[in-house]
Amino acid sequence: MKPRSPPTLLKLATKRLMKLEALALATVPKLPPQFFPTLFLEAYIGRHSAILKAVVQAWPFACLPLGALMRTPHLRTLMTVLDGLEDLLTGKVCPRPVKLQVVELRDIHRDFWNVWFGRPDSPICLKAKHQRLVLQHDPRPHARKTLKVSIELYLKDETLDKFLSHLFLWVEERKGLLHVVCERLRILAMPIRNVSKVLNFVELDSIREVEVLCPWKLSTLAKFAPYLGQMINVWKLRLSHIHVSASMTAQRKEELISEFISHFHHLDCLQELHLDSVSFLEDHLKEMLRCLRSPLEVLYITDCQLSEADVRYLSRCPDIGGLKYLCLSGVVLTRFSPRSLRVLLERVAATLKVLELENCRMIGSRFRTILPALSQCYQLTRLNCLQNYLPMAVLKSLLQRTIRLKKLRLELYPLPLELCGMPVAESRRRLEEFCGELVETLTPFIQTKKVWFGTLPCPTCNNQAMYDMQSKRCLCCVPS
């Protein structure tokens, strides 16, 4: 067994201070910066409220990454920290030369509490690893206040939890002294009236990602739209399960759609757009795409109804020429001419990395139309064509074209049309024969790729089994 390292002098000194509260309170303002992370942790874990408050008041860095410690928020600890901040905001205590600028309540900067970063006088708050887009619009002048509180909003209950309720009450009582910023907003269950109350506390132009993942009526989306229109730095927007009431008149429907799109128009920085089960999209995709002010990199349209005009405009939209991810799964493409999809693929061939065409109900003749364009997508790494109706001849032709796409590593195809409806044992035997022919034809290219065919439900994962033409395993058995 490896022997434990003895505690450092810093650790021993910190533990000693925890036992002598009066000495700690007198000493904290004079301590060098390297004491503070360990001192804060000891006071936080041991619930030494008076010492914790003193540490917050004398905090020597520009950022206090509190969220990394509060995976399960503790209301009493939060109140202690806020009490310490109160004295800083009102000037009852003098801050260090490096004045505290940000209280970080997101679960990031975990390494801060274990690793010492840089010079003692340098700001510790690093940029998030997944920050994708710098602000294109400067914050409003009146929003530049004394202290910034950074949070992430995950609205999954009917009402706010006690932690956020107390925080927002504290913020409301100190208007003009601080501002709340939020990079990511996810809404899973909260009623729109409560969502509105929450958003009134947040500087909306700080939000970068918006996800609405709960069933909303179109009328609810229209109420949310004015807030969305103020989120001018959003680069990712996801809307899921937006439905139109059956009793709604056509005129009222158009009014609500126009209301939403009029605010959608302000999202100048949008780069990712996810539309899942959005029932009003048919005949209105053109209006939405015409609002774009920057090129899209990701476009997911899943389980939506589109019109011929929608798909035709999508194929020539000026802001989709640089797409890297395109998903049209669940969109019935048999209703339109396949030429529009071919033109779309030709437009994005130079940049496209992922193409998802699952459950589009495409048949062999239509798929043949897009093969020339598909074979020009040299950046493609993943191709999903599951749940389409493709005969063996089309699948073989498709593989012969895609096999020379050197970056393509994962290909998902449906069971050949000729094998559908056969007994399980017979369909598997025929599929093995078909794959055997393909391996002989496509060697050595096939060695660097993963090609899977959908079959029957897998006994392990209970989902559609994925037959590997080399190892004959289900996709659920493959290490991630």
Task: Please say if the pLDDT value at position 193 is more than 60.
Answer: yes
Q: What is the pLDDT of residue 480?
A: 46
Q: How confident is the model at residue 158 (pLDDT cuts 50, 70, 90)?
A: confident
- What is the chain's alpha carbon radius of gyration, rounded to the nearest angstrom? 28
Task: Please say if the pLDDT value at position 468 is more than 80.
Answer: no
Greater model confidence, 394 or 108: 394
Q: What is the pLDDT of residue 79?
A: 81
Task: Please say if the pLDDT value at position 133 is more than 70.
Answer: no
**Domains of the chain by residue range:** 9-113
Q: What is the pLDDT of residue 473?
A: 58
Q: What is the pLDDT of residue 444?
A: 59
Cβ neighbours of residue 145 under 8 Å, at least 6 residues apart?
176, 177, 178, 179
Task: Provide mean pLDDT across the span 174-186.
Answer: 89
Q: How confident is the model at residue 135 (pLDDT cuts 50, 70, 90)?
A: very low
For residues 444 and 131, give the distance between their C-alpha atoms in angstroms, rounded to a whole number.
40
Q: What is the pLDDT of residue 362?
A: 92
For residues 457 and 218, give the distance between their C-alpha atoms in angstroms, rounded to a whole number.
36
Residue in the block written with tokens 């989120």: 231
Q: How confident is the model at residue 7 (pLDDT cuts 50, 70, 90)?
A: low
* Secondary structure of the chain in HEC code, one letter for each residue: CCCCCCCCHHHHHHHHHHHCHHHHHHHHHHCCHHHHHHHHHHHHHCCCHHHHHHHHHCCCCCEECHHHHCCCCCHHHHHHHHHHHHHHHHCCCCCCCCCCCEEECCCCCHHHHCCCCCCCCCCCCCCCCCCCCCCCCCCCHHHCCCEEEEEEEEECCCCCCHHHHHHHHHHHCCECCEEEEEEEEEECCCCHHHHHHHHCCECHHHCCEEEECCCEEHHHHHHHHHHHHCCCCCCEEEEEEEECCCCCCHHHHHHHHHHHHHHHCCCCCCCEEEEEEECCCCCCHHHHHCCCCCCCCEEEEECCCCCHHHHHHHHHCCCCCCCCEEECCCCCHHHCCHHHHHHHHHHHCCCCCEEECCCCCCEHHHHHHHHHHHCCCCCCCEEECCCCECCHHHHHHHHHHHCCCCCCCEEEECCCHHHCCCCHHHHHHHHHHHHHHHHHHHCCHHHHCEEEEEEEECCCCCCEEEEECCCCCCHHHCCC
Q: What is the pLDDT of residue 123?
A: 37
Is 21 in contact with 50 (CB distance < 8 Å)?
yes
Q: What is the pLDDT of residue 115?
A: 53
Q: What is the pLDDT of residue 116?
A: 41
For residues 414 and 408, give the distance between their C-alpha atoms in angstroms, rounded to a whole number.
18
pLDDT tens-digit readout, 308-364: 999 999 999 988 989 999 999 999 998 888 999 999 999 999 999 999 999 999 999
Is 314 in contact with 339 (CB distance < 8 Å)?
no
Q: What is the pLDDT of residue 166?
A: 85
For residues 111 and 124, give the distance between their C-alpha atoms in angstroms, rounded to a whole number.
11
